[in-house]
Amino acid sequence: DTETLECSACFETKQRIEVQPTALTVNCTHPSTLCLECVAVFVNTQIRDVAVDQPRCPECQEPLGYTEIQKYADKDLFSRYHRRTIDTLISKIDNFVWCPLGCGTGQVHYPGVNQPLVYCPKDQRHFCLRHGVAWHQDYECEEYDLFLADP
């Protein structure tokens, strides 16, 4: 089969095998007019742009599913997308807090800011949930506020 098509993004003439064979997502209602290379570039560009939470079909703006993103994204960029997706979901858990000490972990702290002393098992240190710093050992939060206002 030597059928050729023109990619609507790069305008190159491609063999049918080089063109996305079906709609990009299950929700797209149009045939794809993009070559596989342009689809991959588009998906990778959207993942690289951290302002984009959910890559979308360039033709109709339907959100791409997880498997479509995995299919077209570079391995490293997909890992970044996967991590960002997990972090976003975890952050939505009630009373979940990230450690501000730089270890990249977090935990559910049920008392919330009413009891701001939190222990990070990875850092093996305490931090202040209210101020987002290592625990201010000699100060209660209100005293630490005064210290910050007039060091």
Q: What domains can be seen in the chain, in order of their start residue?
A: 1-92 (3.30.40.10), 93-151 (no CATH)
What is the rounded CA–CA span in Å between residue 63 and residue 56? 4
Q: What is the pTM of this model?
A: 0.69
Q: What is the pLDDT along the chain (151 residues), one digit of tens a residue?
A: 568 888 889 999 888 777 777 788 888 898 888 889 999 999 999 998 866 678 999 889 999 999 999 999 999 999 999 998 999 899 999 999 999 999 999 999 998 888 999 999 999 999 999 999 999 999 999 999 999 998 7
Using CA of residue 140, residue 142, residue 143, residue 145, what is the dihedral sign?
Answer: positive
Query: Is residue 25 within 8 Å of residue 69, measured between CB atoms?
Result: no
